Homo-oligomer: A and B are copies of this chain.
């Protein structure tokens, strides 16, 4: 079989604000690969099926010398994210052709991974899919976003029946449903009427479009807020501090508004943390993986998704060449549900 094109999404230049497609992120088709004969070095050859795009990836598009919790992407190389693939060939005892695997993958169509167990952050592993759920869901409600919501809600919310929870962005679908299961009143905000409708469909008591309704007014009317699930930071964070109940808890799960601002986005009302006895908890999901936490997740969330009791939403961007578009969508908040780059159908070649 002749070598075929191996499309890749390269980190070509460091953006100053939002990444510019074709300049900072470039879809490149110069590389080829012979799927039958390319040497594996004792590892595996995988075909990428689905790739995640998430706001935190913007943080990795920085100069290598600036430290942060994740290393910078190397310039000239493909960007990397959580992904799902199918094994085409294997020289590794842990994998066989046809296995579906998850791990941090470069944004390219085909990848040879010499040491699958040494893939950083999420080592390559065969996916356990007892309910036969859709592979792309393993990047959303069944993947890191789902783990993030589930682990942190269980660890930090200390939710009590009747408390008021405020969740920003539609990505919080699982958080909304977990909060409802705990008997809370849920206020959700998102940037489109479509997302607002989805939040209502999954049980949010109050859902509003922050582009057409004032967050402060809604929180003043529907609050005070006992638990805030923060994905946004900035002025929304201030609005919550102003409308927080005494002893409120803020779960800091990412601050999208800060990713594109070199200096950071100001928060003015931090003194209310003291005045209202507020606790703010920042966390990274990678600290929460354990056999116990994953077993609880499969029991609660896989089963819930399979039965339809837990709802989720995803937006597929078809084709690897649309990865940059998908990333911009999540950075701008224009995506409808979990954004996934759908690279190929579930076939071995």
Chain A contacts to B: CB under 8 angstroms? 59, 68-69, 233, 237-238, 246, 252-255, 258-259, 263-284, 287
Give the nearest-CB partner of A253 in chain B. Answer: B274
- Closest chain-B Cβ to A132's Cβ sits at a distance in Å of 34
Give the chain B neighbours of A264 by CB distance below 8 A: 238, 268-271
- Closest chain-B Cβ to A238's Cβ sits at a distance in Å of 8
A278 touches B268 (CB 8 A): no
Interface pairs (5), CB distance under 8 Å: A263-B268, A267-B267, A275-B282, A277-B282, A277-B287
In the bound complex, how far is the Cα of B274 from the Cα of A233, in angstroms?
Answer: 10
Give the chain B neighbours of A246 by CB distance below 8 A: 69
B265 touches A268 (CB 8 A): yes
Give the nearest-CB partner of A286 in chain B. Answer: B277
Q: A258-B270, A270-B264, A271-B255 are in contact. Are A279 and B277 (CB under 8 A)?
A: no
Give the chain B neighbours of A272 by CB distance below 8 A: 282
Give the chain B neighbours of A259 by CB distance below 8 A: 271
Give the nearest-CB partner of A237 in chain B. Answer: B270
- Closest chain-B Cβ to A250's Cβ sits at a distance in Å of 8
Give the chain B neighbours of A281 by CB distance below 8 A: 279-280
Give the chain B neighbours of A258 by CB distance below 8 A: 270-271
- Closest chain-B Cβ to A338's Cβ sits at a distance in Å of 19
20 additional contacts (CB under 8 A) given A252-B270, A277-B284, A280-B281: A68-B275, A69-B246, A69-B276, A238-B264, A252-B273, A258-B271, A264-B268, A264-B269, A265-B268, A265-B270, A266-B268, A267-B270, A270-B270, A273-B282, A274-B283, A274-B284, A275-B282, A277-B283, A278-B280, A279-B280
Give the interface centre of A59, A237, A269 by most chain B CB atoms within 10 Å: A269
A69 touches B270 (CB 8 A): no
B282 touches A255 (CB 8 A): no
- Closest chain-B Cβ to A237's Cβ sits at a distance in Å of 7
In the bound complex, how far is the Cα of B276 from the Cα of A270, in angstroms?
Answer: 18
- Closest chain-B Cβ to A285's Cβ sits at a distance in Å of 10
In the bound complex, how far is the Cα of B246 from the Cα of A283, in angstroms?
Answer: 10
Q: A264-B269, A265-B268 are in contact. Are A254 and B282 (CB under 8 A)?
A: no
Q: A254-B274, A271-B255 are in contact. Are A280 and B280 (CB under 8 A)?
A: yes
Contact of A255 among B59, B270, B279 (CB under 8 A): B270
Give the chain B neighbours of A275 by CB distance below 8 A: 59, 68-69, 282, 284
- Closest chain-B Cβ to A341's Cβ sits at a distance in Å of 24
- Closest chain-B Cβ to A48's Cβ sits at a distance in Å of 28
Give the chain B neighbours of A283 by CB distance below 8 A: 274, 277
Contact of A267 among B69, B266, B287 (CB under 8 A): B266
Give the chain B neighbours of A69 by CB distance below 8 A: 246, 275-276
Give the chain B neighbours of A287 by CB distance below 8 A: 277
Give the nearest-CB partner of A250 in chain B. Answer: B280
A279 touches B279 (CB 8 A): yes
B278 touches A279 (CB 8 A): no
Give the interface centre of A268, A271, A281 by most chain B CB atoms within 10 Å: A271
Give the chain B neighbours of A265 by CB distance below 8 A: 268, 270-271
